[in-house]
Amino acid sequence: MSADLLQRAKAVRLAVFDVDGVLTDGKLYFLPDGSEFKTFNTLDGHGIKMLIASGVRTAIITGRKSPVVELRAQNLGIHHLYQGREDKLVALDHLLAELGLGYEEVAYLGDDLPDLPAIRRAGLGMAVASADPFVRQHADGVTQARGGEGAAREFCELILRAQGNLEAAQSAYL
């Protein structure tokens, strides 16, 4: 963990996640009736819950619309959900204005080109290991885990560690 990433993560008050390729493995599953389903990693979900419990706000900004994502956000306690947003930076601008936060207080985790403007603008802009190579090249950091396989947990724990809250979050289970 680089000192620069920890310093950037220390200021984070809002963590923003893309869905497909970040909270999921990026695969889209469609049933014969046209409905879709996604698989989510429980490690990622618990990382998000620990982050929320530590006082960091969370949001999802995704280009697709899915009732499954709305349900997942509700289950995790994510109150800020922006679906069907191709221009993620515009959605992030709106959210920051609503919350009264600056870009230096935002961490963003993405995987593909539509995430890149938000990754580059955030105080801590990260990509998952399975992200597009160009996105990884322009991110502040890259997780070791792939999207849907613990990358969001790693991102959450980085923020918790930088803010001195990781041990407290973990020891709550002892």
Amino acid identity for residue 9 in this structure = A
SS (H, E, C) the chain: CCHHHHHHHHCCCEEEECCCCCCCCCCCEECCCCCEECCCCHHHHHHHHHHHHCCCEEEEECCCCCHHHHHHHHHHCCCEEECCCCCHHHHHHHHHHHHCCCHHHEEEEECCHHHHHHHHHCCEEEECCCCCHHHHHHCCEECCCCCCCCHHHHHHHHHHHHCCCHHHHHHCCC
pLDDT in tens, 87-112: 999 999 999 999 999 999 999 999 99
Q: Please answer whether residues 79 and 48 qualify as being in contact, where contact means their C-beta atoms are separated by less than 8 angstroms.
A: no
Rounded to two decimals, what is the model's pTM? 0.95
pLDDT value, residue 108 = 98
pLDDT in tens, 40-76: 999 999 999 999 999 999 999 999 999 999 999 999 9
- Reading phi first (left if > 0) and then psi (alpha if -120 to 50, else beta), residue 101 is in beta
**CB-facing half-sphere around the CA of 156: CA atoms within 13 A:** 27
Q: CA angle, corner 130, sides to 128 and 131, nearest 5? A: 65
Distance between CA 46 and CA 72 in Å, rounded? 12
Q: Where does the pLDDT of residue 16 fall: very low under 50, low under 70, confident under 90, or very high at 90 and above?
A: very high
Query: Residue 7 above 90 pLDDT?
Result: yes
pLDDT value, residue 144 = 98
pLDDT value, residue 122 = 98
Query: Residue 1 above 80 pLDDT?
Result: no
